[in-house]
Chain A
Amino acid sequence: MKKLLEFKDVSYFYQTKESEVKALDNISFFIKEKDFSSLVGPSGCGKTTILSLTAGLLVPSNGEIKLDNQPIAQNDSRIGYMFQRDHLFEWRTIWQNIILGLEVQKKHKDTQKLELAENLLKKYDLYNFKNKKPRQLSGGMRQRVALIRTLVLEPALLLLDEPFSALDFQTRLKVCDDVYEIIKSEQKTALLVTHDISEAISMSDKIVILTKRPAIVKETLELNLSGNTPLQKREDKDFGKYFEKIWRNLC
């Protein structure tokens, strides 16, 4: 599989009133097409900064970021971003939330895109809720809507910034499975940022372990666990081995 996202010697400095803070120090890694990859590291090490740089919301101080061999641009439409919370707009219906990105990009009259949105709603059991307001949906359903809102824009790469952290443990396991299934069946490439080592192992084909700030890549793990879903992967005998390895790297 070819490389989709590539970070080459990327550094990033934050400017504050008091000083200049080095957040990332010559980070290099790559993600293959259709892979599910995760970034793990201590709190505040710069994981979300990596996502913001990838989304073009920040510009690297040094180095280069390439998506499909092309430099990342500001407002790069090849990238979709999913946040910690679903951020559904309460005054909009589920359908209106899903086509928000299409409206912004003035594609809301494109019948192909609308068809895709409808099909995704049907496929993931949300079609009957299309005229409901977000408050009428459960936490898991809301996250699915948020993912579909990102998917209708047909991004080449999906960035997931701790999308399950606001959910309780049971819902989290279920939503992990749902999101994983959606991403795999839509054949999308995803980059997940998470604090939860088990979550990263159960969902990822590859894990990039970062050090504390200024972050450097400490180790990259290629995983090969049996099972079709994150829940099944947790049953694999090597799960514990990976957990211990990452845990030791983070300590």
Chain B
Amino acid sequence: MLKKEKTINYSKARQNYLKRLKKDKILVLFWQIAIFVIFLGIWQLFADTGVVDPFFFSSPSRIVSTILDLAHQNNLWIHIWTSLYETLIGFILATLIGFLLAIILWWSEKLRKIFEPYLIILNSLPKIALGPMIIFWVGSGTSATIVMCILICVIITTISMLNAFISCDHDKILLMKSMHANKMQIFFKLILPNAIPEFVSVLKINVGMSWVGTIMGEYLSSKAGLGYLINYGSQILKLDIVMASITLLCILAAGMYFLVSPLEKRYKK
């Protein structure tokens, strides 16, 4: 009621401006949905008319029926749950470990200098190369996948958070020192809150990276999970299973991303 009254009190120019903003928002949403629907429609049409071979390219209807088949066989939930569980554990552990490492390296400049080349090397190393070693160290299956997930996310988390910590305005640190703050107070009252927007960005990056880690881990050695399903589908030449798994992956990754994105709105103002 109050909102309505406010709108009535707006000037003509303000009302037009707000109307234009709303119209733009609707238009963007319309085209986002339209592009998706058009893409699915063209894909289905090309598959039905033989322009593309559905054996290699599948089609939206075949993907839906494959997902339903898998659901009826009671396999789908195991695969989804396995991947989701591995990703969530990997995501949480990698973020925590990376964050703690960044705090330690911020705390001690000497340690930071000592470990700098190691961080650079570990960051540029393709983690998949460590796959066989991981299996030897922790065995195959879920634990190997979680370790792979952690390895992929942890270094980037450490580097990003450390950069956020050390890029804090030096004068603000001096201000805290002039108030006689100790290092702990400087960290908790300045460095940490100042780095929250970067932390939210790291969470968003880690959503994608942890899924990469899970799928890579499941490719290497697993008996369940969407990565396993993709691998299995390609080996028995059932590309519908591959496409169905990729579709499910998109939905799960997007779901995790949307869980994190409200944090961005809250802290990146």
Contact = CB atoms under 8 A, between A and B. Distances in A.
Interface in A50-107: 55, 57, 75, 77, 79-81, 83-85, 87, 89, 91, 100-101, 103-105
Given A87-B171, A87-B172, A57 B180 contact: no
Contacts of B175: 81, 83, 87
A103 B177 contact: no
A105 B171 CA distance: 19
A225 B127 CA distance: 72
The B interface, classified by DSSP as helix, strand, loop or mixed, is helix
B174 A57 contact: yes
Interface in B194-243: 194, 196
A77 B172 CA distance: 18
Given A89-B193, A103-B189, A81 B178 contact: yes
A55 B171 contact: no
Nearest to A106: B185
Interface string B165-195: 0000101101111111100010001100110
A87 B180 contact: no
A229 to B, nearest CB: 28
A87 B179 contact: no
B178 to A, nearest CB: 4
The A interface, classified by DSSP as helix, strand, loop or mixed, is loop
Nearest to B169: A87
Contacts of B177: 57
A79 B175 CA distance: 12
A105 B179 contact: yes
Contacts of A176: none
Contacts of B174: 57, 81, 83
B196 A91 contact: yes
B178 A105 contact: no
B171 A104 contact: no
15 contacts: A55-B178, A57-B177, A77-B180, A79-B178, A81-B174, A85-B171, A89-B194, A91-B193, A91-B194, A100-B189, A101-B179, A104-B181, A105-B179, A105-B180, A153-B179
Interface of A: 55, 57, 75, 77, 79-81, 83-85, 87, 89, 91, 100-101, 103-105, 153
Given A77-B180, A101-B179, 17 more contacts: A55-B178, A57-B177, A79-B178, A80-B178, A81-B174, A81-B175, A83-B175, A87-B172, A89-B172, A89-B190, A91-B193, A100-B179, A100-B189, A103-B189, A104-B176, A104-B179, A104-B180
